[in-house]
Chain A
Amino acid sequence: MMPFKIVILWTDAILFLLIGIVVAFCFYARARPHMSQPWRYVIHSKQGMAALVFLAFFLVVGVLDSLHFRPRLSGTDETQRATFAVQTLSALDVVATPLRTRTEKTYSAPLATHLFAKETVELPGGGQARVFPRLAFGGAHLADPHADWSTDVFRTAIVGFGGGVIVWTILAFLVTGVVANTSGRGVVQTWRAIWRDQEAVPWRVILISAAALIVVLAPMLALCVKYHVLGTDKVGQDVFYLSLKSIRTGLVIAILATLVMLPFALVLGIMAGYFRGWIDDVIQYVYTTLNSIPHVLLIAAAVLMMQAYMGTHPELFDTVEQRQDLRLLFLCLILGVTNWTGLCRLLRGETLKLRELEYVQAARAFGVSNTSILTRHILPNVMHIVLITVVMDFSGLVLAEAVLSYVGVGVDPTMISFGNMINAARLEMAREPMVWWSLASAFVFMLLMVLSANLFADAVRDAFDPRIARPVKRDGAAMVVVKS
């Protein structure tokens, strides 16, 4: 009997489907030079690959957090009908079990051994005193925290750092081995080429970015077993755990909202540009109308209504996670509905241009049907616009989640997300001294995610945008060509 029951939430299913599509596209495009050529530019771009290393980290965390299941309740007899916990867990929760389960009473500072607030405790000899009590888990192994704390933290961090160095060395060795194997040169020779940055793929930048990531993460991972490395929040939950969990929420919103937007923008934009006439009028009317409603208000109105609907229909979901997930899915839907107008307008303009070109006219003269012209001639030639818009929108959507959750129309208030973290921490601003770690962690994680998404998006745009690619070739890329 399985020790757990797999739960596939709506957003999980869509996320995995999307990853499958992307992987399938990679294999499809590999064999077609005209499709893989721009991607080669991306792979050869230093900025793009450095950003991709960080994005990959976020993606791995997000995917781990999307493998959901409900554990079998312990103590259930094997012969009886299995009962499963109400709580849905993810693979990340299992990996981070110590972080998830070891909650304190309330706030504690990063790496602290004592609570942030004073409490009245009974003294052993009778009487009471106001002291900062010891944490239940953070630094609980220390006999005398005041004397041992700094050496223990330092030692643990060094051990973590050492582990990180080992991991990085293995990684570097693997990379060198693979590159040497494909190029047919010796390992030492390949390593020298990588280190002097003479490879076409900027392996040196990739390894340095990985080193930067590992140097920060490894000591944190080592410390988080014994301490709350980023402190705890109001109800004593580990902030590092909350930050890791928030990654999936941000990723899902950014990816799913784009996915919802694409069919609207593609179908309507191309149809408006290609058929013109009354179809164009109707589609233009629809997107002007949608665009004229301020997006926050449209989202607010829709989310309010959905809240009311879910309030009157509790039969739609079994667990809290399913409610959160349904709300997340709906938020993505409404974000997609408000976001498609921009891309639609771009595609309409481009299609208006394309339909007058000779090859489209020729196809029409040969009697090729409209559907074939649209799918075989127009669609492939507007894909670069779609791709650029998709990657450029990604970071904006991650940031939008925080703002919307603050306004109260974002994800479910019980869901762990950057917006909810900021919202909860904001209320403690007036506290003296300030509780800064929750805010800082949410902002730093969000900054890293958005910044790497932005840098990667720039690399993709440089590779795909015909307007931008040319000047770059003249100034910057000429040097790259000489070097490689």
Chain B
Amino acid sequence: MTAYLVRRVLYAIPILLGVNLITFALFFAINSPEDMARLALGGKRVTAEAVEKWKSDKGYDKPYFYDAEASGFARITDTIFFTKSARMFVFDFGAADDGRDIAGEMRARIGPSLAIALPTFVVGIACYITFALLLAFFRATYVDISGVVACVVAMSISGLFYIIAGQYLISKLWHLVPISGFSGGFGALKFIVLPVAIGIVGGVGASTRWYRTIFLEEINKDYVRTARARGLAESRILFRHVLKNAMIPILTGVVVVIPTLFLGSLIMESFFSIPGLGSYTIDAINDQDYGIVRSMVFLGSFLYIVGLILTDISYTLADPRVRLQ
């Protein structure tokens, strides 16, 4: 298994390099540094000196990939690609447009982000699996049918609606929790409850329906019929046998959800003004701070790859037959 993991980690390097190349191409090939400088300085009547100064301030006055004039390692290191993109491999993201260190800012913001995303994720999955098991238990009855209809309606409603309706009802009309904001320590609890609850409600339709399909697929298998023939109670079959065997498809899907968690928190954090990574990204997008967006892309891909490796490990834990070689 160690050999497998080492191979997976090594395989991550070309992927991250690819991610870097894609973002590099996006940010520098479509618009040349000259264009960016003119845009940042505004208008067409910008002097050539001002453009040159902007470029050298930002470090964009170097060649893209290869510096023929330099000597030794500087031929590769003294380029835009190396100073802007390759440095990210050691999590050195450089400074944002306002001069602050991006990596330090990220470290400070990851706490609030996790405070929202983690409970949403864990409690959410527990809720969805419970609902799905209930629907599977009552399959082909009116409980199941109305449950599925409710799921389809719930997943057809825009996520923005849940947020706006939740904020309006709970914070504005009933004054149960503050509309938005954040604070450290246990004081954060009252700020976290609403976004977490809304995050869970927002995902209930699609997820419950999906888990229900997995359970129903499992329920039609032979070993379930055998268990039923031997007189096991339906609830015992569901919770002891079906749930355990459905773990592999569930685990595969849960990891697919992790990157989309990112999207959810992007919207969530900006609505509830939580000082996390999501609102950081939104602010960067609105301020057109490309350095931050680039760093977030890299961080996102890195986390995704970690997620993929973790899925493989979780397979071996959930199913003893799976061996990683």
A449's closest neighbor in chain B, by CB? B156
CA distance A293 to B260 in the complex (A): 11
- Say yes or no: B290 contacts A304, CB within 8 Å: yes
Instruction: Give 1 or 0 for each of B140-160: 1 = CB within 8 Å of chain A CB.
Output: 100000000000110111111
Residue A153 interfacial (CB < 8 Å): no
CA distance A304 to B294 in the complex (A): 11
- Say yes or no: A402 contacts B160, CB within 8 Å: yes
A398's closest neighbor in chain B, by CB? B158
Residues of B within 8 A of A293 (CB): 19, 22-23, 297, 300-301, 304
Residues of A within 8 A of B294 (CB): 301
Residue B14 interfacial (CB < 8 Å): yes
Residue A403 interfacial (CB < 8 Å): yes
CA distance A309 to B285 in the complex (A): 16
A304-B290, A305-B30 known; A399+B159 contact, CB < 8 A: yes
Which secondary structure dominates where chain A touches chain B?
Answer: helix
Residue B76 interfacial (CB < 8 Å): no
The tally of residues in B whose CB lies under 8 Å from a CB in A reads 51
A309-B31, A455-B152 known; A298+B297 contact, CB < 8 A: yes
Q: Shortest beta-carbon distance, A302 to chain B, in Å?
A: 6
CA distance A399 to B162 in the complex (A): 13
Residue B167 interfacial (CB < 8 Å): yes
- Say yes or no: A312 contacts B39, CB within 8 Å: yes
Residues of B within 8 A of A291 (CB): 304
Contact of A458 among B152, B160, B285, B297 (CB under 8 A): B152
A289-B15, A408-B285 known; A297+B35 contact, CB < 8 A: no
A285-B15, A293-B300, A308-B31 known; A403+B152 contact, CB < 8 A: no
Residue A447 interfacial (CB < 8 Å): yes
Contact of A443 among B36, B39, B157, B281 (CB under 8 A): B157
- Say yes or no: B26 contacts A300, CB within 8 Å: no
Interface residues of A in 275-332 (CB under 8 A from B): 285-286, 288-298, 300-302, 304-306, 308-309, 311-312
Residue B27 interfacial (CB < 8 Å): yes
Q: Shortest beta-carbon distance, A294 to chain B, in Å?
A: 4
A434's closest neighbor in chain B, by CB? B168
- Say yes or no: A301 contacts B26, CB within 8 Å: yes
Residue A446 interfacial (CB < 8 Å): yes
CA distance A301 to B85 in the complex (A): 14
Residue B2 interfacial (CB < 8 Å): no
Contact of B160 among A290, A403, A471 (CB under 8 A): A403
- Say yes or no: A292 contacts B262, CB within 8 Å: no
- Say yes or no: B282 contacts A285, CB within 8 Å: no
Range class of the A interface residue count:
35 or more
CA distance A293 to B259 in the complex (A): 8
Interface residues of A in 400-426 (CB under 8 A from B): 402-403, 406-409, 418, 422, 426
CA distance A418 to B38 in the complex (A): 33
- Say yes or no: A294 contacts B164, CB within 8 Å: no
Instruction: Give 1 or 0 for each of A66-110: 1 = CB within 8 Å of chain B CB.
Output: 000000000000000000000000000000000000000000000
Residue B95 interfacial (CB < 8 Å): no
Residue B80 interfacial (CB < 8 Å): no
A296-B266, A305-B30, A409-B285 known; A402+B158 contact, CB < 8 A: yes
- Say yes or no: A294 contacts B304, CB within 8 Å: yes
Residues of A within 8 A of B285 (CB): 300, 304, 407-409
A295-B263, A403-B263 known; A300+B30 contact, CB < 8 A: no
Q: Shortest beta-carbon distance, B140 to chain A, in Å?
A: 7
Residue A450 interfacial (CB < 8 Å): yes
Q: Shortest beta-carbon distance, A438 to chain B, in Å?
A: 11
A468's closest neighbor in chain B, by CB? B213
- Say yes or no: A296 contacts B263, CB within 8 Å: yes
- Say yes or no: B156 contacts A297, CB within 8 Å: no
Residue B220 interfacial (CB < 8 Å): yes
Residue A395 interfacial (CB < 8 Å): yes
User: How many pairs of residues, A versus B, come closer than 8 Å at their CB atoms?
Assistant: 136
- Say yes or no: A395 contacts B305, CB within 8 Å: no
- Say yes or no: B152 contacts A451, CB within 8 Å: yes
Q: Shortest beta-carbon distance, A247 to chain B, in Å?
A: 15
A314's closest neighbor in chain B, by CB? B44
Residues of A within 8 A of B159 (CB): 399, 403
Residues of A within 8 A of B31 (CB): 305, 308-309, 312
Residue B313 interfacial (CB < 8 Å): no
A301-B297, A302-B26, A422-B160 known; A312+B38 contact, CB < 8 A: yes
A293-B297, A403-B263 known; A309+B160 contact, CB < 8 A: no
- Say yes or no: B35 contacts A309, CB within 8 Å: yes
Contact of B259 among A294, A447, A471 (CB under 8 A): A294
B159's closest neighbor in chain A, by CB? A403
- Say yes or no: A426 contacts B19, CB within 8 Å: no
CA distance A138 to B267 in the complex (A): 36
- Say yes or no: B160 contacts A300, CB within 8 Å: no
Residue B71 interfacial (CB < 8 Å): no
Residues of A within 8 A of B301 (CB): 289, 292-294
Residues of B within 8 A of A115 (CB): none
CA distance A150 to B299 in the complex (A): 59
A408-B282, A443-B161 known; A292+B290 contact, CB < 8 A: no
A296-B266, A297-B293 known; A308+B36 contact, CB < 8 A: yes
Residue A351 interfacial (CB < 8 Å): no
CA distance A47 to B248 in the complex (A): 32
Residues of A within 8 A of B260 (CB): 295
Residue A358 interfacial (CB < 8 Å): no
- Say yes or no: B30 contacts A294, CB within 8 Å: no
Interface residues of A in 442-467 (CB under 8 A from B): 443, 446-447, 450-451, 454-455, 458
Residue B102 interfacial (CB < 8 Å): no
CA distance A297 to B260 in the complex (A): 11
Residue B56 interfacial (CB < 8 Å): no
Contact of A297 among B36, B267, B296 (CB under 8 A): B296
Q: Shortest beta-carbon distance, A70 to chain B, in Å?
A: 28
CA distance A285 to B159 in the complex (A): 32
Residue A122 interfacial (CB < 8 Å): no
Residues of B within 8 A of A298 (CB): 22, 297
- Say yes or no: A300 contacts B281, CB within 8 Å: yes
Residues of B within 8 A of A407 (CB): 266-267, 270, 282, 285
A305's closest neighbor in chain B, by CB? B30
Contact of B288 among A296, A304, A426, A447 (CB under 8 A): A304
Residue B325 interfacial (CB < 8 Å): no
Residues of B within 8 A of A429 (CB): 164, 167-168, 172
Contact of B156 among A286, A292, A312, A454 (CB under 8 A): A454
CA distance A439 to B164 in the complex (A): 9
Residues of B within 8 A of A306 (CB): 30
Instruction: Give 1 or 0 for each of B262-300: 1 = CB within 8 Å of chain A CB.
Output: 110011001000000000011001101010011011001
The list of the 3 closest CB pairs from A to B, nearest first, reads A289-B18, A294-B300, A451-B156
19 examples of A-B residue contacts, CB within 8 angstroms: A289-B19, A290-B22, A291-B304, A293-B297, A294-B296, A294-B304, A300-B281, A300-B293, A301-B26, A301-B297, A304-B290, A308-B36, A312-B31, A418-B158, A422-B158, A429-B168, A443-B157, A443-B160, A454-B155
List 5 additional contacts besides A294-B297, A305-B27, A447-B161; criterion CB under 8 Å. Answer: A294-B263, A304-B293, A309-B31, A422-B160, A429-B164
